[in-house]
Structure 1
Amino acid sequence: MAVWRGWVDLPPRWNPWAPLDVRESPNPLTPFKLWRLRDNRELCEQALATSGLRYAAVPDSLPAPDCPIENSVRIQRGAVAFNGSFIATCPLAVAYALFERHGLQSAAQEIYGQPVVRIEHYGSFACRNIGQSNRRSQHARANALDIAGFRLRDGRRITVARDWKGSDRDARFLRLVRDAACRSFNTTLGPEYNRAHHDHFHLDMGLYRMCR
């Protein structure tokens, strides 16, 4: 209450009510700050402005029934390139930026001593349900991203399909990436979840937290 009312002055990274700065190392307040972006477009835009991503705003639209695109951007690239641009809700874009900066690249440096320069993904927006259920997927709102592989600076390519059970080094890298994703996204699903995810990591900012 004292911080919220302005009676106590704290550095922004330790102030729960200050906008999230993606450039700052994550701390125990980061999940709360990510949660606050959910229904606050202005606050999310402030966080996204610190992300270092190259992006363009996407107008709100309803491309198909029950599949609204709202508060979204088209991400063209970050510090890494993509096999193609993709649409993401603002909270998903911020979570991705945190993952890339503070998780993915740290894992690559630890295992290979070099950065990831390209990410291969299967896309984000798809107006569909979850598996055989009647519930809409987070993909139906562009609130999920499926990542399939990574390319290192020296040209080496690591894919979830081939390397999850591959060499010790590649498998360890992918598990570090999965763990890093779990810290940034609400849901992270990979090969250990089910066969539908044998070749990619599903990352989303839905209501439920799950790390599999």
Structure 2
Amino acid sequence: MRPWVLCALLSVSLSAASAAGNLGDALAQAGAAAKGAPKASAKAPPPKPGSSKAPVKSLSIKERFKRWGLHGALAESKADHAKRQWENLASVDGAQCREELKKTGAVFRALRDREKPDHKGCGIPHGVILTKGPTGITYAGPLMIDCSLALALPSIEKVIQEEAVKHLGEPITRITTLGSYSCRSVRGWKERISQHAIGNALDMAAFSTKGGVKASVMRDYEMGVESPAKPRGRFLRAIYRRLWSEGDVTRVLGPEWDAAHRDHFHLDRGLRFWK
């Protein structure tokens, strides 16, 4: 099976359990997800690297679903989909969420809560602007995200730091981001609101250590190589795989997904497209 097919299938839950996406029990901190956040949808193991050194041909999610006959993912109306995604975040207690976030050691500023999205379907229910994560990582630029996504950072950063020490010899102190909140639809699918539009996604482009080692997704991610030859490539491959299985996120998209993600890892905690 081609890697983009497998990766796309990972982004779609065909079972009722995975598709439910309701708020679950509060999550534990630092490595086991923190309290106050909705659960990320269940996910399968990560895709294996592809056979091509070039990014795969870019097909939108909508085009892929049509090709595979996944009509359940296409049938939901734009309004119903947007409402379902918004309520997944808005149902949590924003004040409690931020109290739990403080306990992680993250440095952030709270934004005013929103009861509903704007006329475009955009906005962040319980927003924060986060400059430093729970393990001391500085985000450049700062993350404008929902508090529930911020509460997933302990598990995300745990994976990143463990693999950085293993492959780069020291922890990560800085992550270069390509964006977080952005009012837009899913690329190639205007009927579906992007997780970026509700502050439920972030893009990571490069990872830097205190000693000056910088692992860039664009430059150092080795396409089509099962076992990368260079330490930076091994680090990127390792965090990509582990975040699928251990990070408290629903989707991790990167160079193996399509050309639009050749230069970054996209992480989000949205509900599955399949209802």
- TM-score, normalised by the number of residues in structure 2: 0.62
Cα distance, 1:124 vs structure 2: 0.4
Q: Residues 47 and 176 of structure 1: is their aligned pair in 2 closer, same or farther, counting only changes over 3 Å?
A: farther
Range 82-91 or range 137-146, more displaced? 82-91
- Of residues 124, 127, 131, the one that matches 1:76 is 131
- TM-score, normalised by the number of residues in structure 1: 0.79
Cα distance, 1:20 vs structure 2: 3.3
Distance in 2 of aligned mates of 1:32 and 1:191 = 32
Aligned residue for 2:166? Answer: 110
Alignment of 1:138 with 2:195, yes or no, is yes
Distance in 2 of aligned mates of 1:40 and 1:94 = 12
Kept after mapping to 2: 8 A contact 1:21/1:51: no
Structure 2: gaps of 5 or more residues: 1-23, 40-87, 223-227
Aligned residue for 1:177? Answer: 239
Letter aligned with residue 270 of structure 2: G
Question: Pairwise mapping of residues 88-99 of structure 1 onto structure 2 (< 5 A)?
Answer: 88-99=145-156
- Note the alpha carbon deviations across 1:44-73, whole angstroms, 9 max, x for none: 334323221101111135566210221111
Q: Residues 154 and 113 of structure 1: is their aligned pair in 2 closer, same or farther, counting only changes over 3 Å?
A: same
Aligned residue for 1:126? Answer: 182
Cα distance, 1:33 vs structure 2: 7.9
Distance in 2 of aligned mates of 1:58 and 1:34 = 17
Structure 1: gaps of 5 or more residues: 1-15
Distance in 2 of aligned mates of 1:72 and 1:208 = 22
Cα distance, 1:84 vs structure 2: 1.8
Question: Pairwise mapping of residues 56-75 of structure 1 onto structure 2 (< 5 A)?
Answer: 56-61=109-114, 65-75=120-130
Cα distance, 1:175 vs structure 2: 1.4
Distance in 2 of aligned mates of 1:60 and 1:31 = 20
- Of residues 253, 260, 265, the one that matches 1:189 is 253
Q: Which has the higher strand share?
A: 1
Share of identical aligned residues, percent? Answer: 31
